[in-house]
Amino acid sequence: VINGHVFIHIPKNGGTSIVGNKYHFVYSSHKRWYQYHGYSDFITLVRNPYTRWESIWAHCTRQKLIDMDFNTFTEAALKLKIEPQRPVEVEWTKKLMNKKNLQILLMSQSEWVDEDVEVHKLEEKTIYKKLGIQEKKENVGEYEKPTWDSDNRELFESWYAKDFMRFKYEFSDSN
């Protein structure tokens, strides 16, 4: 913890660059411990939900957590979130359900932060000045921008609507 800020690291939002600057990070479930020990300034980065989702898919592909195209992954992952109790019909769905790190990646950004967390947008790059650190680009993966299937886009926007509204990102007709 530097200057009293505890960084809440939401996966695939540029947080490794902050952590690489020696900032302590926490997932929101551990926030009470920090508050008990006297920390009260919590800060985080959020990212455009579309580009975050694309980055999650690319990350999962690079890490060999999945072996499927973007739209197949989007449909499967979102249906797992929407209908977690449905019978497992396909072998790779079992693999998705058993990957704890994948379940963490699929959490919406809104699930990570409470109302009293200071939120910065990755695209605006304001967090670096606030924390007095240089921007670093660590753990940045290159990938070809996928094309969204219209049904998957609608399903995605419905599931992540709270992120779009809470963090003031716009829904787009095409991505």
Mean pLDDT of 114-138: 87
Measured CA to CA, the distance from residue 162 to residue 165 in angstroms comes to: 5
Q: What are the φ/ψ torsions at residue 87 (nearest 5 degrees)? A: -60, 145
Measured CA to CA, the distance from residue 42 to residue 120 in angstroms comes to: 11
The pLDDT score that the predictor gives to residue 29 is 54
Give 21-34 pLDDT, tens digit per residue. 655 555 555 566 66
Torsion of CA 106, 60, 12, 84, to 10 degrees: 0
What pLDDT band is residue 165 in, cutting at 50, 70 and 90? Answer: very high
Give 90-105 pLDDT, tens digit per residue. 555 555 555 556 777 8
pTM strictly above 0.85: no
Residue 168 CB coordination number (10 Å): 9
What pLDDT band is residue 45 in, cutting at 50, 70 and 90? Answer: very high
